[in-house]
Amino acid sequence: MTSNIQTEQLTQAGQQIEHDSFAIVDREAGSHHYGEGEWQVVRRMIHATADFEFNGLTEFSGDAVEAGIRAILNGATIVADVEMICVGLSKPRLAHFGIASHQFIADDDVIAAAKAVNSTRAVQAMRKAQGLGLVDGGIVAVGNAPTALLEVLRMINDGGIKPALIVGMPVGFVSAAESKDALAELRDIPWIITRGRKGGSTLVVAAIHALLSLAESWQKNA
């Protein structure tokens, strides 16, 4: 068992169940090509979904895990495409690192802007986030809307912004796989993706929780 405190389950029974689950995942997943930190992310994603296909579907840029840990230790803001991610993230764990999470998908001004130009709320929500200075230097978390991810990529290519990390795992049939393929082309922005149609907010939350756990371990060993 780890000796983490802030990023563990709150009861000993809960901790034991979680650790036993991780042991089962390790045993049944078979071989993999991931580094130690990467596997902790993938393992938690499998634990959250009971889907072993994420052993293989999940990909990382070369520095993604370290970049995510450093961003967390620096208190980077998390910008999510949907409320589900913000609800799923542990508030005490975020608070330990001084991290705030934001999403704007249901804001009245976002809805009005989307209707005015016939775009999606996800696009306008990301534009609002960047207007507030939250995307540049933040952790971008996309689990639902490919258009949100594509808009962030446009901001990077056209506006020169640099998120600290992009967790890009939109699920679906229209532009989901393509948006992640486009993200994987980036060379100077760290990213974590799931290839193909599979994704979702649950996976994004699991990946960030894994990074929070790794960050706590770094914090203690610093």
Count the helices and strands in the chain (H runs, E runs): 11, 6
Q: Tokens for 194, please give them.
A: 């799931």
Distances (CA, A) of 202 to 1, 44, 45, 109, 136: 24, 10, 8, 27, 24
Active site residue 19: no
Q: Edge-to-edge strands of the sheet including 101-102?
A: 58-60, 191-194, 165-168, 139-142, 78-80, 101-102
Contact (CB, 8 A) for 60 and 38? yes
Residues constituting the chain: 222
From 19, 33, 47, 102, the catalytic residue:
47
Strands (E), 31-153: 58-60, 78-80, 101-102, 139-142
215 membership: H or E segment, kind and range: helix 201-221
- Catalytic residue positions, numbered: 47
